[in-house]
């Protein structure tokens, strides 16, 4: 009889392939193999697990409500919160620069690591086992989300505000881009023609920065 494989338990899963776990916790700054490919896979798996849970729990919600809820639950800050509950920051393998700059506390790095971990669990044990481990991480947030009541994102709300008044849509412009390739910070300006107004926002991706800029403009409109 073959000897049983020694398994390492981490975040509720007993890994048969310890190399997958090590790769999931290795940031690009620490060399190769790092976790970016696992992050790509885990992003899709997390999205499917959350989408399936919402579909089952909200039988009367339309596609728009389901999409907004999923986006809220799997956005960078939400994933980083889950990563902190699992104490992933203390387990990350980072390069010297990221260690000095506190990379283990950064939302972008934590959320990427969580997705990589999900990808690793999926490859190690398959979808059913992965869902059994991962879904409980999100159940509290799902239960706290009122069915069909998740708000629209800032860009959508701003667009609808302008369209309702038959005004031109906003223009988004990249103002600056800074940081290393693995920790970019984008700054975007959102400009309205009528009323004349500009707001700026920052984020770990251009999309996130655009949302922050739209939020700034909405705040300005409300204050006007």
The residues annotated as belonging to the active site are 43, 115
Q: Enumerate residues 6+ apart whose C-beta is below 8 A from 48.
A: none
Q: Are strands 171-178 and 13-15 parallel, antiparallel or unpaired?
A: unpaired
CA triplet 45, 11, 40: central angle to 5 degrees?
Answer: 30
The two structure tokens encoding residue 81: 């919160």
Distance CA 97, CA 29 (A): 8
DSSP 53-109: HHHHH-TT--HHHHHHHHHHHTSHHHHHHHHHHTTGGGG-B--HHHHHTTGGG-HHH
DSSP state of 40: H
Rounded to an integer, what is the distance from CA 94 to the centroid of its chain? 20
């Amino acid at each position: 009889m073959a000897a049983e494989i020694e398994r390492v338990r981490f975040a509720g899963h007993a890994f048969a392939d310890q190399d997958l776990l090590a790769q999931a916790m290795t940031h690009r700054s620490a060399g190769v193999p790092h976790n970016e490919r696992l992050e790509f896979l885990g992003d899709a798996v997390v999205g499917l697990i959350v989408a399936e849970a919402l579909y089952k729990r909200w039988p009367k919600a339309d596609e728009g409500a389901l999409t907004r809820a999923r986006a809220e639950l799997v956005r960078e800050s939400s994933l980083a919160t889950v990563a902190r509950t699992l104490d992933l920051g203390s387990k990350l393998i980072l390069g010297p620069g990221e260690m000095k700059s506190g990379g283990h506390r950064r939302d972008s790095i934590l959320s990427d690591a969580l997705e990589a971990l999900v990808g690793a669990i999926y490859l190690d044990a398959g979808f059913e086992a992965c869902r059994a481990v991962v879904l409980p991480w999100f159940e509290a947030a799902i239960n706290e989300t009122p069915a069909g009541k998740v708000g629209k994102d800032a860009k959508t709300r701003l667009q609808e505000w302008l369209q309702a008044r038959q005004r031109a849509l906003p223009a988004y412009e990249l103002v600056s881009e800074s940081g290393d390739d693995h920790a970019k910070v984008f700054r975007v300006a959102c400009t309205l023609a009528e009323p004349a107004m500009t707001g700026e926002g920052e984020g770990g991706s251009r999309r996130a920065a655009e949302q922050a800029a739209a939020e700034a403009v909405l705040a300005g409109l409300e204050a006007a």
